């Protein structure tokens, strides 16, 4: 795992309750190399608890010796534990009459994994998003688990329609429901993801992708980028909790060309790290 030490990550994170809501049901974790945004639902003592459980469990993973060589398995186990805790909590809450509905949460997570080289492992459940900003281009990597996304996929509506569709907040998968939902996983090479954005729909639902791209292009420091994204979401009305985590890969992307890759491989062979 010698090359994992070569990867340096800088990050910035910000969350805000917004201008309309009373409770911030969003939560985030920035514990390099583990990053999470969760957007809870189910109201007070519901959504906020659900998203906090996700952050707690991933914090526990980061503290307990996260192993990038088994990142995929560890992420899956952590999500399973989140699912168990949230659904237990939700069931107990319903049974005791404190709520009529289960609590739940979205989750997007980015974890550095090592599988023959460092990569981003991304996880998505729900309609929070992972974007990558690379070579001055913004790309949404995660695919929303939402009704409007399904309508877009089916060709029923365009992605422009989706932004204003009345059901745009209805999601089709979440963490913590009565039965587990299947997360989507993604793997990206570090070199093609110099900057990642994890955000709740309080960002992506309030400001357009081209505005997100402009912020990510101009704010060099990821802390400034996260602040600016939240500020703009508030300026646009702040109708929802808004959370942004921006992560920069420093010192790897530029070094990952062919020659340095060869040097790395040859060094690892000498050290016996590769067969």
Rounded least distance, CB 207 to another protein, Å: 13
CA geometry: angle 137, 38, 190, nearest 5 deg? 35
In the complex, the smallest distance separating the C-beta of residue 181 from another protein, rounded to whole angstroms, is: 7
Q: How far is the CB of 25 from another protein (least distance, A)?
A: 8
Q: Are 158 and 47 in contact (CB under 8 A)?
A: no
To the nearest whole angstrom, how small is the minimum distance from the Cβ of residue 18 to another protein? 7
Compare residues 1 and 101 and give the one whose CB is closer to another protein.
Answer: 101
Residue 196: partners with Cβ closer than 8 Å, 6 or more residues away: 35, 110, 120, 122, 130, 131, 132, 133, 246, 247
Cβ distance to another protein smaller for residue 2 or 269: 269
Query: Using CA atoms, how far apart are residues 162 and 18, in angstroms rounded to an integer?
Result: 22
How far apart are CB 144 and another protein at their closest, in Å? Answer: 11
- Residue closer to another protein by CB (options 30, 175) is 175
Q: Which is nearer to another protein, 149 or 219 (CB)?
A: 149
Closest approach of another protein to the CB of residue 11, in Å:
22
**What is the gyration radius of the CA atoms in the chain, in angstroms?**
19
Residue 108 forms beta bridges with which residues? 37, 124
Q: How far apart are CA 159 and CA 180, in angstroms?
A: 28
Q: Rounded CA gap, 16 and 99, in Å?
A: 25
For residue 270 the two structure tokens come to 């000498």
Residue number with CB closer to another protein (15 or 106): 106
CA separation for the pair 198, 27 (Å, rounded): 11
How far apart are the C-alpha atoms of 210 and 219, rounded to whole Å? Answer: 14
Nearer to another protein, 12 or 126 (CB): 126
Provide, rounded to whole angstroms, the least separation between the CB of residue 62 and another protein.
19
Instruction: Determine the Cα–Cα distance for residues 202 and 130; give it in Å rounded to an integer.
Output: 13
- Tokens representing 100 are 């009529």
Residue number, 165 or 223, with CB nearest to another protein? 165
Length in residues, the chain: 275
**Beta carbon nearer to another protein, 12 or 42:** 42
Distance between CA atoms of 203 and 48, rounded to whole angstroms?
Answer: 18
To the nearest whole angstrom, how small is the minimum distance from the Cβ of residue 147 to another protein? 5
């Amino acid at each position: 795992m010698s090359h994992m030490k070569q990867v340096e990550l800088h990050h910035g994170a910000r969350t805000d309750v917004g201008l309309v809501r009373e409770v911030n049901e969003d939560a985030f974790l920035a514990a390099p190399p583990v990053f999470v945004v969760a957007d809870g639902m189910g109201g007070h003592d519901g959504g906020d608890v659900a998203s906090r459980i996700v952050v707690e469990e991933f914090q526990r993973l980061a503290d307990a010796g996260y192993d990038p060589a088994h990142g995929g398995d560890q992420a899956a186990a952590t999500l399973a534990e989140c699912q168990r805790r949230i659904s237990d909590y939700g069931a107990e809450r319903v049974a005791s009459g404190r709520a009529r509905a289960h609590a739940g949460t979205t989750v997007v997570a980015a974890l550095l994994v090592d599988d023959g080289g460092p990569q981003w492992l991304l996880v998505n459940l729900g309609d929070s998003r992972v974007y990558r900003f690379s070579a001055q281009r913004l790309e949404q990597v995660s695919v929303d688990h939402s009704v409007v996304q399904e309508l877009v996929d089916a060709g029923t509506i365009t992605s422009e329609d989706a932004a204003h569709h009345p059901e745009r907040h209805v999601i089709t998968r979440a963490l913590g429901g009565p039965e587990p939902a299947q997360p989507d996983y993604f793997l990206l090479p570090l070199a093609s993801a110099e900057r990642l954005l994890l955000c709740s729909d309080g960002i992506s639902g309030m400001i357009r992708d081209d505005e997100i791209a402009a912020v990510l292009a101009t704010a060099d420091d990821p802390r400034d980028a996260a602040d600016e994204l939240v500020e703009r979401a508030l300026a646009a009305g702040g109708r929802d909790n808004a959370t942004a985590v921006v992560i920069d890969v420093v010192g790897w992307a530029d070094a990952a060309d062919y020659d340095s890759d060869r040097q790395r491989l040859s060094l690892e062979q000498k050290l016996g790290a590769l067969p």
